[in-house]
Structure formats: structure tokens, C-alpha cells
Structure 1
Amino acid sequence: MSIKIPLICITGTSAAGKTHFSRCLANALDELGHQPVVIASDDYYRKDWVPDPLYGYDTIAAIDTEALISELRELSQGNLQRRRRYDMGTKAVSWTDVSPGWDLVILEGAFGPQVLLERMPPDLLVYVETSLTLRILRRLLRDTRERNRSIVSILNQTLNNMIPGERDFIQPLKQHADVIIHNPKRDLQTVIRRLASQN
């Protein structure tokens, strides 16, 4: 099925700055007169997922890709009224209303874009790249504050699950990227220009 409303995919490794960049892009597009809707592939984790022995939650298999594809197709046609949400702390799934009138869809996330490349290719694939040291620091701050996790558990997951998962599933996306982000503030304009050239 062809995409009627453009789909922009923001991907990259854990704590690379995908969410922040997606918000900045959405705000910039809003100022240009667009009405983007931003969704996160993290909201499509399986609620009954049993962590993989090697990857834990850092694997495509942890994502309900059928639900993700289904809602993206509805978004691309301008029809989706409620979208899925996933609580990282409680592992609960809920739904929230979608404001009507969007003309761009921004999907941000590490797992999920892999499936889109074959089944629903995005109009623009953006890969956010950040050093491992900075990403670990960000993850420590985020997960201790927002997910009530201990430093030891975060570091264990980083070394035992996150890095193998990134190597096998996320980093290969870089070779398919239309734009690679090294400096978010500077490269934001590059993404906007690429979008403008496609219209």
C-alpha cells in the first residue's frame, strides 16, 4: 500500500538523542506550517514479552510490529483516531486520542524501523549518531530518574543486552539512512531541506 502522508523515520542507538531530535524537527516543521504527528516505536513493545536470553528488550522481536505497521498505515491515510501507548515502568498498554489534521508522520525509535524498510519504506530515514560514552551517561540519568532502575542493572543491561542488540539490529540501519545526524542543531536544517526537495 502506498503512503499518502509522508513518513519520516528517526532512528539510531539507545540514548543517541532520537526523541529530542524528533521533537525539534516537529517544532521546526510546525513553524513552517506543517502539522506533524510524532509516534515512538517504544510504544509498541509487547506487554507479555519475556526478555530474550541474549538481547533482553533490545531486539526487534520485542516489538509488536504488526500493531506498529497497522497504525502507521492508518496514519498514512489520515484515519487513525487512537494510538497505542506503552508504559516502560508498569509494562501496561493503553491508547490515547490522536489530534486530527496531521500532514506528516514522524516515527522515532530504535526497533521497528527495520521492518519498515521491507514492508513500508519511509520517505526519509534519519540516523542519529552519538558516542557510546555520552549515550551511557544519558541512559544512566534517564533510567534512574524515569524508570526507577538501579545503576548496576542499567550497566548490566548495557553491556549484556544493549550493545549486542545495537550491533545486530540498529547499526545496520545506518547504511540505509538518507541523512546521518552528528550535530542535531546543524543537521536539522539538512533534514528540512531534504523534505522540501521531495515535495
Structure 2
Amino acid sequence: MEEVVIIGVAGGSASGKTTVANRLKEEFAESVALLNHDCYYKAHDEMPFEERCKLNYDHPTAFDTERLIQDILQLKNGNSIERPVYDYAIHNRAKETVKVEPARVIIVEGFLIYENIELRDLMDIKIFVDTDADERIIRRILRDVKERGRSLDSVINQYTETVKPMHEQFVEPTKKYADVIIPRGGMNEVAVKMLIERIKAFL
């Protein structure tokens, strides 16, 4: 069986990690399988919408990380998976899934992917996208208001109450596990091109 390389792309909320992961996916198309940790938020069908709104989505327990680990192992073994879909508008997992085919390169993207030791140990290359906190909050406001239908007040409240303290507690300390730290996120063309060349060499 062909060797498979697993690349982690972590960083704070709105740091540009998704941009970096998507750039790599676009560059290599079918050679890359991309898994976003955000898709693995736990389902809460038992809760009304008002209760789901109050959950802390920036804590490690918000994620079904065990399923992500199992899905990565399935892909690595040459099997396709059914990846969950998360709907931000309803704060819950959607009914549909997305089929992901195995690939030579598996990119795992998310802000808490290095917090879990079992997940972290699966990574062959660990990237941390490091972006200034002021820039991240501005990006998050623009993204959540425009793309996710949130109000400005709700975005700011969530940032101050959970995003910032959880970042300081769980995300920032995992930077020490990174093999590569990319400043300025997806705008860092030099770093992105170096990553692309590294993957090309593997393929």
C-alpha cells in the first residue's frame, strides 16, 4: 500500500488556517483529502436551539474527536468515509454527510487538533498558523456576520466569553508542538509555496 502523509493545520480562530488548508487542497486536488475539525462538532438533537446557542464551542469537549481519529485511520487504510456536516445557522450537525475518498495526503484542519494527544500523534507534519489577535477578531466578525448570519453583538460576546479564554487555555499552548509556524496566515505566500513544494516532493 502507498505511503500516506498526514498534515495538521492548526491556529487560532480566524487565523487563516482554513485558507492555508484550502490552498493546498486546490493545488493537489484528488491527491489530497481535507478534513475540518469543525465538521465534527457533536450533534445535539436533544437540545432546543436556545440551549445549543449557549454551549461553549471552543472547548475540546464540543468535538467528536474520536470519530475524526477513526475517520483518519480509515482513510489511511485506503477506505472512504462519510464525513459529518455541521450547520452553523442551527448550531447542530446536519442530516447529510459527505463522502471523502482516500488520498496520499490527508490534511486535518482545526484550532484544537493538537490539544488531543492521540490525534496529534497521527500527524506527520504539524503546521501552526500564527496571526495577531486583533486581526483574528476583525476577520471573525466579518466572517460570522457575513457568512454565518450572526449578529455583531453575538460574535463579540462569544469572542470575549469563550473564544479568547479558550484560545489562551487550549490553543496557544499547542504551538510548541508545531514543526512549522506560519505567520500572517493564508496571506503568507512564501510559506504556502514552501508547503506546496514539500508535498510535491512527497508525491
For 1:19 and 1:133, how far apart are their aligned partners in 2? 18
RMSD (CA atoms): 2.6
Secondary structure, in 3 states, of the residue corresponding to 1:89?
coil
Q: 1:4 to 1:62 in 2, by over 3 A?
A: farther
- Alpha-carbon distance, 1:29 to partner: 3.4
Deviations 1:120-173 (A, max 9, x none): 430000000111111111111111112211111111111111111001111111
For 1:96 and 1:193, how far apart are their aligned partners in 2? 29
For 2:33 and 2:164, how far apart are their aligned partners in 1? 30
1:38-117 map, 5 Å: 38-48=34-44, 56-90=56-90, 91-93=92-94, 94-98=96-100, 100=101, 102-116=103-117
Q: 1:26 to 1:20 in 2, by over 3 A?
A: same
Secondary structure, in 3 states, of the residue corresponding to 2:115?
helix
Are 1:170 and 2:166 an aligned pair?
no
Q: Please say if residues 69 and 119 of structure 2, whose CA atoms lie closer than 8 Å, have aligned partners that are also in contact.
A: no
Relative to the length of structure 2, the TM-score reads 0.84
Moved more, 11-20 or 107-116: 107-116
Runs (5+) with no aligned partner, structure 2:
none
**Counterpart in 2 of 1:145?**
146
For 2:66 and 2:144, how far apart are their aligned partners in 1? 27
Runs (5+) with no aligned partner, structure 1:
none
Q: Please say if residues 84 and 93 of structure 2, whose CA atoms lie closer than 8 Å, have aligned partners that are also in contact.
A: no
- Alpha-carbon distance, 1:92 to partner: 2.5
Structure 1 segments of 4+ aligned residues over 4 angstroms from their partners: 49-53, 116-119, 193-199
For 1:78 and 1:128, how far apart are their aligned partners in 2? 29
**Counterpart in 2 of 1:29?**
28
For 2:202 and 2:103, how far apart are their aligned partners in 1? 18
Q: Please say if residues 39 and 83 of structure 2, whose CA atoms lie closer than 8 Å, have aligned partners that are also in contact.
A: no
Question: As a proportion of its length, which structure holds more strand?
Answer: 2
Relative to the length of structure 1, the TM-score reads 0.85
Length, aligned pairs only: 192
For 2:88 and 2:178, how far apart are their aligned partners in 1? 28
Secondary structure, in 3 states, of the residue corresponding to 1:113?
coil
